Amino acid sequence: MAELRPSGAPGPTAPPAPGPNAPPAFASLFPPGLHAIYGECRRLYPDQPNPLQVTAIVKYWLGGPDPLDYVSMYRNVGSPSANIPEHWHYISFGLSDLYGDSRVHEFTGTDGPSGFGFELTFRLKRETGESAPPTWPAELMQGLARYVFQSENTFCSGDHVSWHSPLDNSESRIQHMLLTEDPQMQPVQTPFGVVTFLQIVGVCTEELHAAQQWNGQGILELLRTVPVAGGPWLITDMRRGETIFEIDPHLQERVDKGIETDGSNLSGVSAKCAWDDLSRPPEDDEDSRSICIGTQPRRLSGKDTEQIRETLRRGLEINSKPVLPPINPQRQNGFTHDRAPSRKDSLESDSSTAIIPHELIRTRQLESVHLKFNQESGALIPLCLRGRLLHGRHFTYKSITGDMAITFVSTGVEGAFATEEHPYAAHGPWLQILLTEEFVEKMLEDLEDLTSPEEVSLFDSL
């Protein structure tokens, strides 16, 4: 539950925001991380010292359901001469470390990220006659924050979020999100690390698909060129009834050319998927072709998890040489600048606690495999083939229903354990499939119907 009140209103857990010249005694009582972010808000909105604020009644660290302690809401006048309309500006507090006492986030030093290293923002076009900001964006931000806290995966600029529902629960076509740097909020150095600000941008389904087929940054740049679709500051208008491709059909040509030239930078998804090894019969009635070592089910080891996570991050680098990090104790290079690291292995389930030592899991070459995807996941196969493998890259499906992963690799990917001689190979529950360019072209012909998934009716058995 949450309640709405001015940030300066009295309350047991929501003290007023201190100004830069606040008395030392008062500042010492104010959470330092919160104080630092408020300072950036006050720099941007000096005339709004006490904005309306949605606050969690029961804080997350006291057992409440909402990870964000507060969401502040400011009125931004925009700049009509620059095609920036008046709008409401929402800013979250809680993904970063506000307190520094480990009640929510572990303190790791001042040089690294504070908490998850970012806060969310959102810019919503103000409707004529609207005197107060709608509060539904605060719940939207709480939903994204719950995902981050539960998965311990972080967001970065260019990421997309498939929401599959109008963001405000109306009949709007704005049903998905992209993420980008907030155009006004500057990174903040707090006593507990650095905080950046990622802005949520509402998009239509067609724009989401374009971001998947090409890349999020490219679509964000196109949105900036269309005032009614976001403009320079990427302001979301829930009343927008047309996609950028309907507003300006020439933009589709730019996307098509970008896909042809760059391919897709979407290197993997969490999905409903599974695979069976058809090279051997089930070991018993309960096996159902599951992968086992003795009586223990095989799970993604820490090394496999780390490699897949690194694979997904590196796939975001459009112009980088495609490399799968090797499976060995030697880690390469660390994290890229394109994606902040998660604090937990993003592909490791809560129950996957080093049941099997990594070195005891041998890589197996398989003769044949059976892949299973639900409709939404299967509809991404053409993207995987055309946007990734034909550009010498890789694509990973990580099961959301079990500890299993499927990675398709092309012949140009280094470090893969699947080879042209043995194109189907498994390391524990991680399957790699190497596809030659000729085979990819043949698959694209066979899967032509999946390019229009709305016209396809598939039985979903997962």
List pLDDT tens digits, range 184-198: 999 999 999 999 999
The span from the CA of 254 to the CA of 99, in Å, is 46
Return the SS3 of 384: helix
Name which of 94, 20, 87, 106 is nearest 55 in CA terms.
94
**Of the ranges 168-182, 259-273, 390-404, which is most confident?**
168-182
Q: Is the pLDDT of residue 440 over 70?
A: yes
pLDDT tens digits, residue range 299-327? Answer: 566 666 666 666 655 544 444 455 554 44
Instruction: State the pLDDT confidence band at 328, using cuts at 50, 70 and 90.
Output: very low
Mean pLDDT of 402-406: 87
Strand arrangement, sheet containing 424-427? 268-271, 394-399, 405-409, 430-434, 424-427, 363-365
Burial status of residue 24 (CB atoms within 10 A of its CB: 0-12, 13-18, 19 or more): exposed
DSSP conformational letter for 144:
H
Instruction: State the pLDDT confidence band at 293, using cuts at 50, 70 and 90.
Output: very low
The span from the CA of 95 to the CA of 316, in Å, is 23
The span from the CA of 266 to the CA of 159, in Å, is 9
Phi, psi of 10 (to 5 degrees): -65, 145
- What are the structure tokens assigned to 456, written together? 């396809």
Q: How far apart are the first and last CA of the chain?
A: 34
- Strands 160-161 and 424-427 come out as unpaired
- Which of residues 355 and 144 earns the better pLDDT score? 144
Q: What is the mean pLDDT of the chain?
A: 81
Mean pLDDT of 244-259: 96
Q: Is the pLDDT of residue 36 over 70?
A: yes
Mean pLDDT of 400-419: 89
- Which of residues 326 and 215 earns the better pLDDT score? 215
Residue 94, number of CB atoms within 10 A of its CB: 29
How far, in whole angstroms, is CA 96 from its chain's centroid?
A: 17
The span from the CA of 238 to the CA of 136, in Å, is 12
Instruction: State the pLDDT confidence band at 452, using cuts at 50, 70 and 90.
Output: low
* DSSP character string of 70-104: EEEEEEE--BGGGTB--EEEEEEESSS-SSSSSSS
Q: Are 161 and 179 in contact (CB under 8 A)?
A: yes
Q: Are 160 and 177 in contact (CB under 8 A)?
A: yes
Phi, psi of 231 (to 5 degrees): 65, -170
The span from the CA of 250 to the CA of 222, in Å, is 11
pLDDT of residue 140: 97
pLDDT of residue 46: 98
pLDDT of residue 276: 92
- What are the structure tokens assigned to 363, written together? 């890589």
Q: Is the pLDDT of residue 85 over 50?
A: yes
The span from the CA of 69 to the CA of 55, in Å, is 6
Question: Residue with structure tokens 């550009």?
Answer: 391
pLDDT tens digits, residue range 45-68? Answer: 999 999 999 999 999 999 999 999
How far, in whole angstroms, is CA 361 from its chain's centroid?
A: 30
Run of H or E including 140: helix 136-151
Return the SS3 of 220: helix
